[in-house]
Amino acid sequence: GQNIDQPTEMTATEGAIVQINCTYQTSGFNGLFWYQQHAGEAPTFLSYNVLDGLEEKGRFSSFLSRSKGYSYLLLKELQMKDSASYLCAGMDSNYQLIWGAGTKLIIKP
């Protein structure tokens, strides 16, 4: 079957670094997406990885290991506005996204 696993909730301190992990199992693999979703709002795109390695985009970086079925999202210099849910999604062989339940990130001052 297809499955995406990520922690339900994480807490971090403003200014710190946090890593949100995601493991995936999809029928075929066409890449791994990360989205950010603030409470009551729509998901918005953060990153896409299809090759192994780290993709850096400002304060946010995303890593992929295809052999391990593993990805992480790294958030640096945390700000209060980063409090949100972070959704991991794997794209299967039919180009459909399989979504994790999301990780709620709580930032404390």
Partner 1 sequence: IAGITQAPTSQILAAGRRMTLRCTQDMRHNAMYWYRQDLGLGLRLIHYSNTAGTTGKGEVPDGYSVSRANTDDFPLTLASAVPSQTSVYFCASSDSGQVSDTQYFGPGTRLTVL
Residues that bind partner 1 (CB under 8 A): 4, 30-31, 33, 41-45, 48, 50, 87, 89, 91, 95-102
Q: Which amino acid type is present at position 57?
A: K
Q: Which is nearer to partner 1, 43 or 69 (CB)?
A: 43
Shortest distance in whole angstroms from residue 54 CB to partner 1: 17
Q: CA torsion sign, 107 to 75 to 38 to 70?
A: negative
Q: Which is nearer to partner 1, 72 or 78 (CB)?
A: 72
Give one word for 16, left, alpha or beta, with left for phi > 0 and alpha for psi -120 to 50.
Answer: beta
Token digits of residue 72? 């992480």
Shortest distance in whole angstroms from residue 84 CB to partner 1: 14
Give the closest residue to 61 by CA, choosing from 107, 29, 20, 13.
20
Q: Which is nearer to partner 1, 74 or 98 (CB)?
A: 98
